[in-house]
Amino acid sequence: MPQFDRTSRGAQLVRHFVAPAMAFAAIALSTTTAFALTHRQNKPQLTVEAERSAQGARLTFKGKGWSANARLKLTGTRAPGASGTQDFGMFSADSSGNLTARKIATCSTSNTEDGSREPVTITATDSATGSKAMTKVQGGAWVCQ
C-alpha cells in the first residue's frame, strides 16, 4: 500500500506563499486604515457673532474645516417677528478652508421678549459637496433699536 506524504508540494506552496501573503495583506490594511484616520478631513465648523446695531443684526460668520475655496450658502431660520427664513447669500472659504464673512440683516421685531426667547439657527452649506455646519444665536440682534 503506497504511503501518502503529508509534506506534498501543495502543502509547501501554502506554507511558503499563502501565509506571507496574508501577513502582507494585514499590514497593508492596517496601514491604509491608519492613513485614513490621520488624513480625514475635519468636520466643517461654523460660529456666528451677532450684535444689535442701528442698521439691523450685524452678523460675523466664521468657519473652518471646509474644502479649499468652497462656495458656502448661508441661511437662517425665521428671525424673531419675521415671516420667513433668511438667506444671507453665498460666501467663499479661503484656500485653507476658513470662512470669515459679514452681513447686516434687517431688524425684524421691536419686542425684546421675542428676541430673548427665539434663537436663530444659522446653516452654512457647501454648494459642491452638501456638507453642512449649524449654530444657534440668540434672536436679540434682530430687535430694532
Write the pLDDT tens digit of every residue in 49-63. Answer: 999 999 999 999 999
Residues 6+ apart with CB under 8 A from 142: 52, 56, 57, 79, 80, 81, 82, 105, 107, 108, 109, 115, 120
* d(C-alpha 63, C-alpha 73), whole Å: 12
Write the pLDDT tens digit of every residue in 48-105. Answer: 999 999 999 999 999 999 999 999 999 999 999 999 999 999 999 999 999 999 999 9
Class of domain 45-142: mainly beta
| pLDDT classification of 130: cutoffs 50, 70, 90 | very high
Distance spanning both ends of the chain, measured CA to CA: 107
3-class DSSP state of 136: strand
